[in-house]
Amino acid sequence: MKVKVAKEAGYCYGVERALKLAQEAVGKLPEPICTLGPIIHNPQVVDWLKGKGIVSVDSLNQIDKGTIIIRSHGVDPKVKIEAKKKGLEIIDATCPFVKKAQHCARKLIEEGYNLVIVGERNHPEVIGIFAYAGGKAVVVENVKDIKQLSNFKKVGIVVQTTQPIENLKKVINALIPKTEEIKIFNTICDATVKRQIAARNLAQDADLMLVVGGKNSANTSRLTQICAEVNPKTYHIETASEIKKEWFKGVNFVGITAGASTPNWIIDNVAKVVKKL
């Protein structure tokens, strides 16, 4: 069986940085060391960190001392203020690209724009950006949401870093006739786009495509969707244990890609298992 991993796959810069910051804290910063929500959307990595003494809490109410790690998705700025008040050490592992989106959102509000955030309403990154804008924003998931909006004089746009560029284009196209002025900060992260292009290209060539990553990871799900568009034999798995022999009947070439929160050791293991089939 021929197996190929997409040219760009797995950990992105923001995730790698967040995990590095978390590991560096162990033994140096006050315990307990907690992440506010799972540090990345990958259950295997979260378990591995637990082994190092870094646990995930759902809210600041669950921690009264020690260190709190703000994960790469970012948070409502009020959370940092509250953590300071509680006397906690703070590691802000917000991805620099997410931070940029947060600042762009605030800037657009200050400049008097009606803010539109293009992204998934319930994603922590979008919730954080929304909070940075003081809650004065409309979250738009897709072009259908635009139809319900009234006309604006000035619209400002920021984008969840993991959004597909095609969705942004469609939203902008629908907004153009509804407004006189649009200011767009294209805050989509390069890594996402590169992973998506590499995944699509590989899925076109491969007989079967495996997308490796957390079932709760938005960017992994999107990779699955993109691959499935060009290759109906696309499977989203978290680990090699989910692989089923019967998928591979008549398959000679398997492509593998992985979400931004999937560690290399999981990807490598999937490749190894497939090669042995």
Any idea which residues carry the catalytic annotation? 125
Q: Which residue has the tokens 């007989």?
A: 207
Contact 96, 72 (CB under 8 A): no
Which pair of structure tokens corresponds to residue 116? 């539109």
In whole angstroms, give the CA distance from residue 159 to residue 19. 24
Q: How far is the CB of 168 from a copy of itself (least distance, A)?
A: 6
Of 52, 17, 56, the residue nearest 34 (C-alpha): 56
Q: Provide the binding-site residues for a copy of itself, judged by CB under 8 A.
A: 165, 168-169, 172-173, 176-177, 179-186, 193
- Shorter beta-carbon distance to a copy of itself: residue 166 or 229: 166
Q: How far is the CB of 157 from a copy of itself (least distance, A)?
A: 9
What is the 8-class DSSP label of residue 261?
Answer: T
- Shorter beta-carbon distance to a copy of itself: residue 173 or 252: 173
- Sheet containing 54-57, strands listed edge to edge, beginning at the edge strand earlier in sequence: 54-57, 33-36, 67-70, 89-92
Q: How far is the CB of 62 from a copy of itself (least distance, A)?
A: 38
- Shorter beta-carbon distance to a copy of itself: residue 159 or 254: 159
